[in-house]
Amino acid sequence: MIASRSVGRKTPGVKELGGFAADQLLRLCEIAGLDRADAETYAQVLIDALGPVAERSLALPPPSRSFLSDDHTPVEYSLSFTPGAAPALRVLLEPGCDAESLAENGRIGLSVIRQMAKNWGFATDKLDLLEDLFFPPSPQGLLAVWCALELRPGGVPKLKVYLNPSARGADRAAETVREALERLGHRQAFDALPPADGYPFLALDLGDWEAPRVKVYVMHHSLSATEAGALARRNPGFDHEAAEWFFRNAAGYDDATAEDDTRLAGKPALTCHSFTRTTSGEPTGFTLHIPVRDYVRHDGEAHTRSVSALRRHGMDEAALARSMAAVTARSPQDGRGLIAYLALAQEHGRAPRVTTYISSEAYEVPPPAVLPSPRQVPAEEQADPGRQTSVPQQNTQKQERGAAWSRTA
């Protein structure tokens, strides 16, 4: 059961979605070290990108069953921590969340992204090259397009675009990923990817990036810590021991289960494989994403596990607590899902990053859960790591859109 924040009640003075999210973003910008002028610029960008939905009262249900968050808020925040620095702030958006169909959702999203490119003076040629693959006339899947803004001083963000490999059908997702990589010049990259239980996203860096990435997200059902380490070890330059420790910490394994083959029994882990060089098929980045909110009783436990990861890598743990308070006044023990995902990112030539994904919770707060400890998958239910499973298809009507599992950025 999910506790409703305001759905169904016309509460006097209740905020609209855009104002609610903009206020959260203003407070998060302060924690990320952005000045007031930049913060106000980015808050307006957020409102503009949401379009008419920004004026929708929070006393009403969500505009659609958006796959972007558990309560269908079309906004999510993330904080990327590195040693000795303030966290980098990102905001993930679904511009077309109020569309009547997935095709219309995609058209709105593309229009918003191209307007951003025009405003900030960057090219969309890579996105244009893939349009027919990811925006067919009758798209399928759980999303059309999302955009993420990495906020930085100066009022001009870096932009990431998230595309749906299942747009032409879940059975063609692998084919779509391979074709997209080849069109972008990464002809050997697909063969470097691990066995997958699905390909939920392909992402592109647009704008002023030092080394623009093409990122492929891979789903792994019933993953174990040992297997997480093996995924990191597939390519040189990534620390498999760090990945195993991070997996165990995020999943909540104690010393008694640290060395066994305990597997995630709830929402699946994801790995992200980043490609920046077309001369080689090897990824230059590897990220492990754990849906921590599915493996905790409440956000107090999620915070504790996040702090453990930040301390291990010498990062600013105090900024996380301030960020949680900037988004909500509720106690972490009163709900589950404020911290949706934890991720450990490794890139060649860079220090590791720990990213916490923070839910807006504009509509609902999942109550605390009662979980077995540890959560273990019986042998007969364990996933075949080499299989390719289909992802549920998305109905074109917005009221039918939803997800059996929820994503990451």
pLDDT digits (tens, 9 = 90+) for 89-128: 999 999 999 999 999 999 999 999 999 999 999 999 999 9
Highest mean pLDDT of the ranges 310-319, 362-371, 377-386, 390-399:
310-319
Q: Is the pLDDT of residue 405 over 70?
A: no
Q: pLDDT band at residue 13, thresholds of 50, 70 and 90?
A: low
CB contact at 8 A, 146 and 203: no
pLDDT at 67: 93
- Residue spans of the domains in the chain: they are 3-374
Query: What is the residue whose two structure tokens read 């069953």?
Result: 65
State the DSSP string of 300-317.
HHHHHHHHHHHHHTT--H
Q: Is the pLDDT of residue 338 over 70?
A: yes
Q: Which residues contact 325 (CB under 8 A, 6 or more apart)?
A: none
Q: Is the pLDDT of residue 63 over 50?
A: yes
The identity of residue 49, as a single letter, is A
Distance CA 290, CA 301 (A): 14
Among left, alpha and beta (phi > 0; psi -120 to 50; other), residue 293 is alpha
What is the mean pLDDT of the segment spanning 2-7?
A: 37
pLDDT at 94: 98
- Supply 370's token pair: 């009662």
CB contact at 8 A, 275 and 208: no
pLDDT at 387: 32
CB contact at 8 A, 22 and 48: no
pLDDT at 89: 98
Distance CA 331, CA 362 (A): 16
pLDDT at 262: 84
Q: pLDDT band at residue 244, thresholds of 50, 70 and 90?
A: very high
Helix (H) or strand (E) holding 180: helix 173-183
Q: Is the pLDDT of residue 246 over 70?
A: yes
pLDDT at 372: 59
pLDDT at 314: 95
What is the mean pLDDT of the segment spanning 342-346?
A: 98
* CA torsion, ordered 37, 43, 49, 52, to nearest 10 deg: -130
Among 403, 359, 350, residue whose Cα is nearest residue 76: 359
Beta bridge partners of 3: 365
Q: Is the pLDDT of residue 336 over 70?
A: yes
Mean pLDDT in the chain?
88
Q: Is the pLDDT of residue 197 over 50?
A: yes
Q: Which residues contact 244 (CB under 8 A, 6 or more apart)?
A: 225, 226, 228, 229
Query: What is the residue whose two structure tokens read 């990451």?
Result: 408
For 98-112, 125-139, 384-398, which range has the lowest pLDDT when averaged over its residues?
384-398
Among 189, 165, 182, residue whose Cα is nearest residue 129: 182
pLDDT at 403: 40
Counting residues of the chain whose pLDDT is more than 90, the rounded percentage is 82
pLDDT at 377: 41
- E strands in 74-211: 75-81, 88-93, 145-151, 158-163, 201-206
Q: Is the pLDDT of residue 366 over 70?
A: yes
- Supply 4's token pair: 């409703």
Q: Is the pLDDT of residue 9 over 70?
A: no
CB contact at 8 A, 76 and 340: yes
Q: Is the pLDDT of residue 285 over 90?
A: yes
Distance CA 54, CA 66 (A): 15
Among 115, 118, 111, 170, residue whose Cα is nearest residue 143: 170
Q: Which residues contact 170 (CB under 8 A, 6 or more apart)?
A: 140, 141, 198, 390, 391, 392, 393
Classified as helix, coil or strand, 49 is helix
CA 243 and chain centroid, separation: 18
Residue 89: what are its φ and ψ, rounded to 5°?
Answer: -105, 135
Helix (H) or strand (E) holding 289: strand 285-290
Stronger pLDDT, 315 or 397, i.e. the higher one: 315
pLDDT at 1: 34
pLDDT at 7: 28
